[in-house]
Structure 1
Amino acid sequence: MQRRNLMLAALGSPFVAASLAQGQAPAWQPSGPVRIIVPFPAGGTTDILARLYAQRLTETLGVSVVVENRGGGGGSIGADVVAKAAPDGQTLLFHNLTFSTTTAALEFVGRAPHVLERDFAPISLGANVPMLLLVGAQVPARNLAEFVAWAKAQPTPPFYGSTGPGSTMNLIGEVVKRDGGFQMEHVPFRGAAPLVQEMLAGRIAFGGDQLSSSLQHVRSGALKPIATLAASRARALPDVPTVREQGFASAEMLGWNGFFAPARTPEPVLARLNAEIAAAARYPQLASRIAELGAEPGGNSAAEFGAAVHEQIAAVRPLVRELRMQVE
């Protein structure tokens, strides 16, 4: 889903409109430690990025900023912790693009413990990280067409992995099945790190991961990238075509990682947090480390970040309904 006229598309959303009122960062100061909830196990891209930001924010906020991993439910368990937290700026969520798909899937089955656009306030983009579609080294495919042909020739449907029912990779797996006209069996995991380990072991044929945490396996040949989800090719892997180039345009998604606070967090608190996160994204050592991961530093305004998320949710919801995605 391409980023097109994001501000115009989202100006009517209260999720974004609330963030437009933010002005200069006032002198709000946290009264104690700040928790950043990462709704996935340690070791994945989202966790790595959160820890980089936590280290810098500890220095600039003058209080301890710690990362707490709460995996499960495609990210919904950790997100719900933040949705129910006090709106005081001291419990934050660092999530990624799968937030939009799990939100839509939980809404579809009528079991949403929270609503992204109602229960969370956007703060800032942490980083844009391209997401790769990968196959194990044992799969003789170099692109999506070859993978589809291989899968169709198997005596039993191959396995594809995701970070949980309703997650981005769950949605992408179902889209690829639909558009390719073949079958795969879904195997959910609690995060990208265990999914990648099972792909390396050869038990999962097809999956997806953010570029930064899978790049080492791609460069070693242990995993093979066959597509990127972004609108353009990844700078780190310019020879890997996008899903749109390969005839799977419905699978295109922007790979964001970003910060949220509970809804009803006061504007002065959001403004200070946005200013500190934006400054951290520009900090040379942090920006350089993010670039090394194959990602692009964020640090945009709450309005810009909220608009991007709003548009992605709007694009994902009809796909979730059409595919009748289930959440356990």
Structure 2
Amino acid sequence: MDRRAFMGAAALPIAAGLAPAFGQAAWPSQNIRMVVPFPPGGQADLAARPVAQSLEKLLGRPVVVDNRGGAGGAIGNTAVARSTPDGHTLLMTLSSLAVLPEADRLMARAVQYEVDHLVPIARVLADPTLLAVNARAPWKSVADLVADAKARPGVIPYGSSGPYGTLHVSMEMFATNAEIRMNHIPYRGAGPALTDLISGNIQALASAPGVLKQQVEAGTIRVLANFGAERIPSFPDTPTFRELGYPDVEFYIWAGLFGPAGMPGAVVTKLRDTMKTTMADAEVRRVFDNAGSPPAYQDQPEFAAFIASDSARLIRAVRKIGRVEGG
């Protein structure tokens, strides 16, 4: 585990509580901007919109979702990490949060932000990714796809949310363990990648259940496998990679709310309390359940500990994958 990126994660609640107050004005004193570092249609966007609507009602100020995609999520993550820590700029981001600084180091690039530049507020969703293919593709199973990929190395195109983003890492984890090579096509987010999967411009995509469910029901895509440790209620007939003989292929795409480090402790506390109310709201839970991504709420202390452990696992996976073409 990289100490610069992750040792601060568990201490973030303490650091936030020691932050100096920004004057005496009541918070929020202006509109709140919730940055989603991906285009509409992906897991972070799915998490952000019901949460933003609830926060707006509870806080009495507009909460504007700002989709700022690019670089696998790094552009939006960096923008919030560098923003004024007054509680009026928030971030709804994914598990790639911890991977992207490590990818910068791996690729010998300047690191744009570290995890401890952001303070966790609450986890919202936590789903295993699913491996989906175009419904017109010939593969009816993972074994079919692996056999074809071995016969045509580097040919079958798959999409991702950007280099070393959540969807890229999960697919490279699969490819590494299956000893195959596919053609990585990066997009600015899962939404555009899903559009091209449906049209047939790419042939495979790993994404969250809530992102894929409607298209599976419409018959435009087919799901072959589940990256989780066990089957999920929204896709009960989809086997896990563990069941298929790939015990090391396990990946979860979580979404959580963050703010820039240094926010006043009173603001962090109010955000935590508001998120607790939001995630208990029946309408918010109904939206997530209907999308096939049930709520997976964690308050700040549990979420910070979860980030530290999940990040360590993902960094090990990225280091094992190493430098990849298109990274």
TM over 0.5: yes
Using the TM superposition, give the Cα deviation of residue 135 of structure 1 relative to its aligned residue in structure 2, in angstroms. Answer: 1.1
Question: Which residues in structure 2 correspond to 1:312-323 (within 5 Å)?
Answer: 312-323=310-321
Identity of aligned residues (%): 33
Give, as a single letter, the amino acid of the residue that structure 2 aligns with 1:217: Q
Question: How many equivalent residue pairs?
Answer: 313
2:34 to 33, 36, 58: 36
Using the TM superposition, give the Cα deviation of residue 21 of structure 1 relative to its aligned residue in structure 2, in angstroms. Answer: 8.3
Preserved contact between residue 124 and residue 298 of structure 1 (Cα < 8 Å)? no
Q: Summarize the Cα distance change of 1:167–1:325 in structure 2 as closer, same or farther, 3 Å threshold.
A: farther
Using the TM superposition, give the Cα deviation of residue 194 of structure 1 relative to its aligned residue in structure 2, in angstroms. Answer: 0.9
Whole-Å separation in 1 of the counterparts to 2:242 and 2:302: 25
Gaps of 5+ in 2: 1-5, 18-24
2:124 to 119, 123, 126: 126
Q: Summarize the Cα distance change of 1:228–1:84 in structure 2 as closer, same or farther, 3 Å threshold.
A: same
Whole-Å separation in 2 of the counterparts to 1:44 and 1:205: 18
Whole-Å separation in 2 of the counterparts to 1:215 and 1:186: 23
Whole-Å separation in 1 of the counterparts to 2:53 and 2:100: 29
Gaps of 5+ in 1: 1-11
- Structure 2 residue 298 is the aligned partner of structure 1 residue 304: no
Q: Summarize the Cα distance change of 1:179–1:285 in structure 2 as closer, same or farther, 3 Å threshold.
A: same
2:9 to 9, 15, 18: 15
Q: Which residue number corresponds to residue 192 of structure 2?
A: 194
Q: Which residue number corresponds to residue 92 of structure 2?
A: 94
Whole-Å separation in 2 of the counterparts to 1:228 and 1:101: 21
Q: Deviations over 1:106-140 (max 9, x none)?
A: 23224210011x21111101122332111111222
Q: Which residue number corresponds to residue 115 of structure 1?
A: 114
Whole-Å separation in 1 of the counterparts to 2:14 and 2:298: 12
Q: Cα RMSD (Å) of the superposition? A: 2.1
Q: Summarize the Cα distance change of 1:253–1:177 in structure 2 as closer, same or farther, 3 Å threshold.
A: closer
Bigger mean CA offset, 81-90 vs 228-237:
228-237
Q: Which residue number corresponds to residue 142 of structure 1?
A: 140
SS in 2 for 1:30: coil
Bigger mean CA offset, 301-310 vs 146-155:
146-155
Preserved contact between residue 140 and residue 150 of structure 1 (Cα < 8 Å)? no
1:58 to 56, 59, 64: 56
- Structure 2 residue 170 is the aligned partner of structure 1 residue 176: no
Q: Which residue number corresponds to residue 246 of structure 2?
A: 248
Using the TM superposition, give the Cα deviation of residue 310 of structure 1 relative to its aligned residue in structure 2, in angstroms. Answer: 1.2
Using the TM superposition, give the Cα deviation of residue 20 of structure 1 relative to its aligned residue in structure 2, in angstroms. Answer: 5.9
SS in 2 for 1:207: strand
TM-score (norm 1): 0.89
Using the TM superposition, give the Cα deviation of residue 183 of structure 1 relative to its aligned residue in structure 2, in angstroms. Answer: 1.7
Whole-Å separation in 1 of the counterparts to 2:98 and 2:244: 24
Give, as a single letter, the amino acid of the residue that structure 1 aligns with 2:203: A
Whole-Å separation in 2 of the counterparts to 1:48 and 1:155: 34
Whole-Å separation in 1 of the counterparts to 2:215 and 2:120: 33
Preserved contact between residue 279 and residue 299 of structure 1 (Cα < 8 Å)? no
Question: Which residues in structure 2 correspond to 1:57-76 (within 5 Å)?
Answer: 57-76=55-74
